[in-house]
Structure 1
Amino acid sequence: MITPTVPEPIAHFIERVNAHDEAAFLDAFTADGQVDDWGRTFSGRDAIQAWSAREFIGSQGVLTVEEVTQTGGQVSVVGDWRSNHANGRSRFTFDTDGEKIAKMTIREG
């Protein structure tokens, strides 16, 4: 299977997520960045960190990329998410602002 090419800064972000690097994960977001996890929104570094400690980096998640699409400043990555919290095919949509992530939205893949 050929792994799709993931554009920067999302490629580095996924690499750091899969390495469970919480500091790099948080640093990837803009100061007012957001995570929308199936309709639950977490805004700002402190809220994202608290969510991630329970459900993302803290749950030892790993994303295996299967599909990538890019439209303007938005990148959509579909892949197999495996963690101690949740598992399954998921779609991660990233709105970028320069080299930072302004918003990451997680939905069914």
Structure 2
Amino acid sequence: MTDQTIPEPVAAFIEAVNRHDETAFLDAFAEGGAVDDWGRVFTGREQIKGWSDNEFIGANGTLAVEEVQTAGAAVTVVGDWRSTHANGRSKFVFDVDGDRIARMTISEG
């Protein structure tokens, strides 16, 4: 399914990112959650925060969603990422576990 409807908890996560809400961003991840940023993996709240401080929330990042696709527990969002660290079209694949994100994988959009 491809449309602009973003399922929860991914919708709330993107809203938290775009308003630079670090607490809501970190709380969106399941315990032991992970971020795979172009092959660099950060696991757990402390590692994700350290990465985000430099490259995501701390870099004033925003995501303008262009495409959304859902397949089971996976939600793929393609959009225009803008920050003081990196810019450009990127693909974010979210593995959802209940009301939390188990893993977010970032790659070329």
TM > 0.5: yes
Between the two proteins, what is the percent identity of the paired residues? 64
Match of 1:43 in 2: 43
Aligned to 1:25, what secondary structure does the other structure show? Answer: helix
Segments of structure 1 that go 5 or more residues without pairing to the other structure are: none
Equivalent AA in structure 2 for residue 51 of structure 1 = W
Aligned to 1:57, what secondary structure does the other structure show? Answer: coil
Aligned to 2:58, what secondary structure does the other structure show? Answer: helix
Structure 1 distance, partners of 2:5, 2:82, is: 20
Match of 2:52 in 1: 52
Match of 2:91 in 1: 91
Equivalent AA in structure 2 for residue 97 of structure 1 = D
Match of 1:66 in 2: 66
Equivalent AA in structure 2 for residue 5 of structure 1 = T
Equivalent AA in structure 2 for residue 44 of structure 1 = G
Match of 2:26 in 1: 26
Shift of 1:103: 0.1
Shift of 1:62: 0.4
Q: Which runs of 4+ in 1 moved over 3 A?
A: none
Equivalent AA in structure 2 for residue 98 of structure 1 = G
The CA deviation string for residues 12-64 of structure 1, in whole angstroms up to 9 with x for no partner, is 10000000000000000011000000000000000000000000000000000
Shift of 1:69: 0.3
Please report the RMSD computed on the Cα atoms of aligned residues, expressed in angstroms.
0.8
Shift of 1:108: 0.3
Structure 2 distance, partners of 1:106, 1:17, is: 14
Aligned to 1:58, what secondary structure does the other structure show? Answer: coil
Structure 1 distance, partners of 2:89, 2:23, is: 25
Shift of 1:4: 1.1
Number of residue-to-residue matches in the alignment = 107
Structure 2 length-normalised TM: 0.97
